């Protein structure tokens, strides 16, 4: 029989905790140790797992296991170490050219089979954008097509700057200063540098993120490219004989009998129903896109100091841009405030001053920075306040139904005009060949010829149809050579249109035309030498552009340039270039 001493009463957990030291959980210790090495991925993961499991076991042990602090410390160390590891990996990865944020292997440009340097590429790309902003006063509209253009121009710019460096081309500070002061944008009416215009432009560019230093950097690199172009095209020349031939072609005095077939005259012969209008709209949706538009208030002061005082009072406090009382402040200074309708960056707009800077400044404003700095405007200084903007969007059919209907009918009328014109020309030529006069045949065919001339192809005030006649009145090779800067052979003799000859049918945007050449006279001798000098310079400049473009193409082939996959789908070129299409190319 056991004695009471040999069978002591059971000890309560509380008392056990007071008298017996609990065992430390091994997983908690493991979590702490692994947490110390958490800059490595796998130890960090293991530390988290061990720490969580340890805390669960310690909780279930109800005091029998210790190590909560170690487990928590291991979890904290593993989390902190993991975040540090992620940051370090990101810095390493994204600082290497192969992992540039813009780069995907299929899209990233390559030179000689190797990806271009990311830092140089980004700088060149930013230069192209900055050059666009400097030229237009606004940021380019984002999109896949722009990305493709930026990529191509950035790579070409990199190659050109590298070539300029190899040829030891330099631009000194004095040369840069003279070039900036000679920019047309900074010249006054007398052709002298205007410090106020320069300041206004710098203020405008500063709003677009381009400060003076950045502006000068971009200008310097652009001048390097221009000097490179000058050296590459130094062999370009134009001979006096070429100038004489083209001068005679462009400035010879001509008289013609013109018969026009205008599509407008055939509008009543065509029609379009609702389904046809809807189909036409759907097939041409992009052509009904409205550009970004902006609406502003503006006021004008006689002096820049007064305008600056007003602009200072309009400077918003932090978060208070919407509380500016533009009208009250202007009225208090005795100025009148005007408000525009919505207008685009280009095109016609009523109610705004005819000053290029007005639109440029207006499109730099927004809700965060609603007021502009003063800038030269007509005979004073203007300050603008942004009111609202409308993004570029495709107008719904309901708003442009009449426009779509008219355009569809115009297309159909244009086709009718072409058919009628071609048929009429065939009859006129047949009758003239039988011995009848051009005038009599036209009267028989109920055609009304118009006499134009004497005029020259270079006469800007001549009849609008004259610009469509050039390829008929002047040998096509002369026109082609002039347009493309191609030298003409020494033995080339223009095959000019003969007197009384009848042209082929010439398609025009309005329909079409044909004519008979009545007379041809030599160019007016007045100012002939001056015109020849201007023409020689024009031909030489065009020839240099062509030569430089060929040289750049050759350089890209030699450097085995691969621009990578393009973001935008290939487009089918229009039959005729669109006059309102924006030009973003800035590399010569």
Which residue from 480, 461, 472 is spatially nearest to 506, judged by alpha carbons? Answer: 472
Which pLDDT value is given to residue 190? 85
Which pLDDT value is given to residue 497? 76
Q: Indicate the pLDDT class of residue 27, thresholds 50, 70 and 90.
A: low
Which residue from 245, 337, 349 is spatially nearest to 293, judged by alpha carbons? Answer: 349
Token reading at 222: 């652009």
Q: Which CATH architecture has domain 110-235+548-562?
A: Orthogonal Bundle (1.10)
Which pLDDT value is given to residue 8? 43
Which pLDDT value is given to residue 139? 77
Q: What is the pTM of this model?
A: 0.54
Over residues 356-409, the pLDDT tens digits come to: 789 989 998 988 888 888 888 877 899 999 999 999 999 999 999 999 999 999
Greater confidence (42 vs 349) lies with 349
Sequence-distant (≥ 6) Cβ neighbours of residue 152 within 8 angstroms: 563
CA 383 – CA 353 distance, rounded (Å): 12
- For residues 38 and 82, the answer to whether their CB atoms sit within 8 Å is yes
Note if the bond before 454 is cis, omega within 30 degrees.
yes
DSSP alpha helix (H) spans, 233-325: 240-251, 274-283, 304-313
CA 313 – CA 311 distance, rounded (Å): 5
Which residue from 208, 188, 195, 199 is spatially nearest to 135, judged by alpha carbons? Answer: 208
Helix (H, G, I), strand (E, B) or coil at 372: coil
- For residues 297 and 326, the answer to whether their CB atoms sit within 8 Å is yes
Strands 293-301 and 343-344: antiparallel
Which pLDDT value is given to residue 273? 95
| Residue with tokens 């009904």, as numbered in its chain | 288
Which residue from 445, 432, 577 is spatially nearest to 517, judged by alpha carbons? Answer: 432
pLDDT > 90 in the chain, percent: 38
CA 224 – CA 244 distance, rounded (Å): 34
Instruction: Return the H-helix or E-strand segment holding 381.
Output: strand 380-390
Query: At residue 382, what are phi and psi to the nearest 5 degrees?
Result: -100, 155
Question: Does the pLDDT value for residue 146 go beyond 50?
Answer: yes
Q: Is the dihedral of CA 382, 385, 388, 391 positive or negative?
A: positive
Which pLDDT value is given to residue 568? 65
| Other beta carbons within 10 Å of 555 | 16
CA 203 – CA 409 distance, rounded (Å): 48
Q: Is the dihedral of CA 98, 99, 103, 104 positive or negative?
A: positive
DSSP alpha helix (H) spans, 380-437: 397-433
CA-based max dimension of the chain:
155
How high does pLDDT run on average in the chain? Answer: 80
Q: What is the mean pLDDT of residues 89-104?
A: 50
CA 319 – CA 302 distance, rounded (Å): 31
CA 442 – CA 427 distance, rounded (Å): 10
Q: What is the mean pLDDT of residues 245-256?
A: 83
Determine which of 99-113, 135-149, 417-431 has the lowest per-residue pLDDT on average: 99-113
| Residue with tokens 């009628």, as numbered in its chain | 420
Over residues 36-81, the pLDDT tens digits come to: 665 555 566 766 677 677 666 766 666 666 667 776 776 676 677 6
CA 453 – CA 456 distance, rounded (Å): 8
Which pLDDT value is given to residue 6? 43
Token reading at 21: 């030291």
Name the most confidently modeled range: 50-54, 107-111, 224-228: 224-228
- For residues 567 and 109, the answer to whether their CB atoms sit within 8 Å is no
Which residue from 575, 555, 438, 417 is spatially nearest to 503, judged by alpha carbons? Answer: 438
Q: What is the mean pLDDT of residues 227-244?
A: 90
Over residues 282-312, the pLDDT tens digits come to: 999 999 999 999 999 999 998 888 888 888 8
Sequence-distant (≥ 6) Cβ neighbours of residue 94 within 8 angstroms: 100, 101
In CATH, the number for domain 292-391 is 3.10.50
Cα 52–58–63 angle (5° rounding)? 160
Over residues 470-481, the pLDDT tens digits come to: 656 655 445 545
Which pLDDT value is given to residue 546? 87
CA 163 – CA 158 distance, rounded (Å): 9
Which residue from 438, 501, 433, 430 is spatially nearest to 472, judged by alpha carbons? Answer: 501
Which pLDDT value is given to residue 472? 61
Q: Indicate the pLDDT class of residue 185, thresholds 50, 70 and 90.
A: confident
Determine which of 19-33, 124-138, 216-230, 561-575 has the lowest per-residue pLDDT on average: 19-33
Question: Does the pLDDT value for residue 280 go beyond 90?
Answer: yes
- For residues 225 and 164, the answer to whether their CB atoms sit within 8 Å is yes
Question: Does the pLDDT value for residue 10 go beyond 80?
Answer: no
Q: How many CA atoms lie within 13 A of 147 on its CB side?
A: 14
Determine which of 32-41, 251-260, 290-299, 415-424 has the lowest per-residue pLDDT on average: 32-41
Q: What is the mean pLDDT of residues 170-188?
A: 89
């Amino acid at each position: 029989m056991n004695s009471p001493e040999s069978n002591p009463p059971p000890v309560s957990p509380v008392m056990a905790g007071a008298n017996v030291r609990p065992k430390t959980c091994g997983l908690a210790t493991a979590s702490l140790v692994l947490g110390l090495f958490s800059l490595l991925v796998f130890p960090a993961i293991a530390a988290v797992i061990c720490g969580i499991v340890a805390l669960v076991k310690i909780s279930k042990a109800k005091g029998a296991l210790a190590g909560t602090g170690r487990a928590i410390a291991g979890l904290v160390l593993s989390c902190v170490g993991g975040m540090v590891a992620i940051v370090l990996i990101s810095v390493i990865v994204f600082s290497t050219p192969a992992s540039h944020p813009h780069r995907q292997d299929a899209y990233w440009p390559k030179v000689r089979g190797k990806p271009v340097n990311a830092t140089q590429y980004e700088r060149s790309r930013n230069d192209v954008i900055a050059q666009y902003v400097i030229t237009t006063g606004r940021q380019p509209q984002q999109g896949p097509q722009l990305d493709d253009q930026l990529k191509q121009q950035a790579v070409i710019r990199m190659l050109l700057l590298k070539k300029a460096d190899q040829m030891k081309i330099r631009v000194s500070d004095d040369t840069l200063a003279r070039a900036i002061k000679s920019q047309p944008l900074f010249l006054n009416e007398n052709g002298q540098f205007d410090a106020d215009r320069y300041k206004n432009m710098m203020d405008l560019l500063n709003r677009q993120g381009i400060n003076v230093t950045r502006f000068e950097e971009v200008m310097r690199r652009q001048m390097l490219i221009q000097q490179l172009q000058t050296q590459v095209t130094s062999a370009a020349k134009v001979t006096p004989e070429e100038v004489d031939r083209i001068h005679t072609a462009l400035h010879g005095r001509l008289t013609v009998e013109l018969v026009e077939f205008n599509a407008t005259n055939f509008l009543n012969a065509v029609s379009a129903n609702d389904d046809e209008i809807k189909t036409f709209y759907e097939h041409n949706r992009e052509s009904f896109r409205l550009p970004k538009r902006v609406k502003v208030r503006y006021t004008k002061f006689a002096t820049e100091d007064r305008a600056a005082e007003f602009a200072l009072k309009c400077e918003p406090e932090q978060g208070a841009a919407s509380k500016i009382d533009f009208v009250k402040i202007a009225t208090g200074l005795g100025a009148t405030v005007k408000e525009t309708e919505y207008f685009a960056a280009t095109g016609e707009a009523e109610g705004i001053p005819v000053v290029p800077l007005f639109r440029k400044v207006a499109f730099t404003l927004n809700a965060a920075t609603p007021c502009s700095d003063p800038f030269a405007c007509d005979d004073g200084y203007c300050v603008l306040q942004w009111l609202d903007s409308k993004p570029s969007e495709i107008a719904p059919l309901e708003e442009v139904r009449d426009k779509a209907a008219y355009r569809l009918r115009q297309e159909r009328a244009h086709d009718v005009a072409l058919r009628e014109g071609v048929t009429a020309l065939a009859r006129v030529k047949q009758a003239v060949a039988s011995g009848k006069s051009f005038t009599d045949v036209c009267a028989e065919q109920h055609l009304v010829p118009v006499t134009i001339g004497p005029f020259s192809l270079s006469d800007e005030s001549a009849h609008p149809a004259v610009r469509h006649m050039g390829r008929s009145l002047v040998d096509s090779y002369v026109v082609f050579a002039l347009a493309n800067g191609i030298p003409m052979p020494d033995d080339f003799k223009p095959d000019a249109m003969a007197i009384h000859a009848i042209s082929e049918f010439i398609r025009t945007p309005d329909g079409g035309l044909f004519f008979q050449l009545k007379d041809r006279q030599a160019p007016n001798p007045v100012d002939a030498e001056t015109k020849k000098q201007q023409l020689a310079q024009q031909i030489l400049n065009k020839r240099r552009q062509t030569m430089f473009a060929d040289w750049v193409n050759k350089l890209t082939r030699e450097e085995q340039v691969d621009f990578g996959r393009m973001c935008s789908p290939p487009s089918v070129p229009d039959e005729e270039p669109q006059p309102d299409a924006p030009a973003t190319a800035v590399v010569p």
